[in-house]
């Protein structure tokens, strides 16, 4: 069995979670979700990797139990293998965000927290059936996270 999700993403990297390990959660996706993860990686991660060099994946697949444990949204695309959180290694997260926004196809790109010059990380998702091309900013409002349309400064 090929142990890679794509040319630059191993299965281990795509499913790794310190929280899952700590809580004893089995974070292994089904074969169907693995196929979705491969599609997501090929359509959004690999084009970014080609342009920007190495990119750190901080979260890709999260099973529903893990997603609940970290307080993720009930409708999180991470549970379907359609989303990943990424950070630049040799580029800023702002550059990663801008480059992602120029992709031909994506569902959502989210500037996750950070400040007005650099997100803490970038969330990017892809759907084989309904790419909305939404570009959003995540902000805390009290204890809730809200998502507002991104406006280029």
Predicted pLDDT of residue 85:
97
- Dump pLDDT digits (tens) for 10-27: 999 999 999 999 999 999
Token representation of residue 18: 């310190």
Q: How confident is the model at residue 143 (pLDDT cuts 50, 70, 90)?
A: confident
Predicted pLDDT of residue 153:
75
Average pLDDT over residues 72-100: 96
Tokens 């805390």 correspond to what residue? 140
Provide the whole-model pTM. 0.94
C-alpha 85/C-alpha 20 separation (Å) is 16
Predicted pLDDT of residue 51:
97
Predicted pLDDT of residue 1:
47
Question: How many structural domains are present in the chain?
Answer: 1
Token representation of residue 15: 């499913």
Supply φ then ψ for residue 28, to 5 degrees.
-100, 125
Predicted pLDDT of residue 142:
92
C-alpha 99/C-alpha 109 separation (Å) is 11
Predicted pLDDT of residue 152:
81
C-alpha 84/C-alpha 38 separation (Å) is 12
Average pLDDT over residues 121-135: 96
- The pLDDT of residue 2 is above 80: no
Query: For the chain, what percent of residues have pLDDT higher than 70?
Result: 99
DSSP assigned state of 79: G
Tokens 């139990």 correspond to what residue? 65
110, 136 contact by CB (below 8 A): yes
Q: Across the chain, what does the average pLDDT equal? A: 95
Kindly report the CATH number assigned to the domain that includes residue 84. Answer: 3.30.1380.10
- The pLDDT of residue 41 is above 70: yes
Q: Provide the domain limits for residue 12.
A: 4-149
């Amino acid at each position: 069995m090929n142990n890679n999700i794509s040319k630059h993403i191993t299965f281990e990297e795509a499913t790794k979670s310190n929280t899952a390990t700590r809580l004893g959660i089995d974070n292994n996706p089904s074969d169907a979700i693995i196929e979705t993860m491969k599609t997501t990686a090929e359509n959004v991660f690999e084009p970014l990797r080609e342009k920007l060099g190495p990119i750190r994946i901080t979260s890709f697949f999260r099973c529903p139990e893990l997603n609940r444990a970290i307080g993720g949204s009930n409708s999180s695309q991470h549970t379907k293998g359609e989303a990943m959180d990424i950070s630049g290694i040799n580029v800023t997260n702002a550059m990663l965000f801008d480059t992602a926004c120029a992709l031909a196809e994506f569902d959502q790109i989210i500037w996750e927290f950070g400040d007005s010059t650099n997100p803490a990380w970038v969330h990017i998702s892809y759907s084989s059936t309904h790419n909305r091309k939404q570009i959003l900013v995540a902000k805390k409002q009290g204890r809730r996270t809200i998502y507002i349309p991104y406006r280029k400064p």
